[in-house]
Amino acid sequence: MQVKRVLAFVVVALVALAVVAKVQAQQGGQQSEEVMKQLQMAMENMAKVMLDMPMAERPKYMMQKQSAAMANGKGLFNKTLGRNAQTCNSCHPGGGSTGGEAEIPMKGRFPMNPKLPIPTLVGAGASFPKYKVPNDAVITLAQMNNNCIKMFQMGDGLDLNSPDARDLATYVSSLSDGEEVAVGKMEMMK
């Protein structure tokens, strides 16, 4: 009985969101069309998992999706994502640190290429979102991953809305399993 109530609530909430998105779309705007597409996809996924799939199969299905994301993220962690031979694992073997410093090949205001300490990623995911100097903003873990891809692997970064960006963030987050969440925690450089 409780499951039916939850499902009814979810359906009502999704219908309300659909109405709001439709009104926005009628008022014009490219973004509203994208919202409608995302909403439609969300409703189809909710129906597939919550209405069409037997309750006993849901945990297995969700774990398969989680495992696939984790495996892809680990693969990306070990893959060259830029124009040099570096990978995430080059500086953070197994999620740890090689120690030392990594040089950022930058030209411009710096008299020489700046060097940054190479941190361990164990526990790092538990501190995001947080402020990062290169962005001069509070950023997500996926954005931080892109900082490293751009600065150290000389890559273009991942589309933050892509499965690859989510999967890499999933893997890096998993390196914080068991760590206390401390959003914004800063490790001061020496």
Sequence-ordered list of residues with C-beta below 8 angstroms from that of 188, at least 6 positions apart, any chain: none
Question: For position 8, what pLDDT does the model report?
Answer: 61
* Cα–Cα distance list, 19 to 12, 132, 135 (Å): 11, 38, 37
Question: For position 119, what pLDDT does the model report?
Answer: 92
pLDDT, mean of each 10-residue run, the chain (190 residues): 58 64 62 79 87 91 95 98 94 91 76 84 93 94 96 94 96 93 74
The rounded distance, in Å, linking the Cα atoms of 143 and 130 is 10
In sequence order, the β-bridge partners of residue 102 are: 116
Length of the chain: 190
Question: For position 22, what pLDDT does the model report?
Answer: 65
The rounded distance, in Å, linking the Cα atoms of 76 and 97 is 17
Question: For position 184, what pLDDT does the model report?
Answer: 87
The rounded distance, in Å, linking the Cα atoms of 82 and 39 is 33
Question: For position 190, what pLDDT does the model report?
Answer: 46
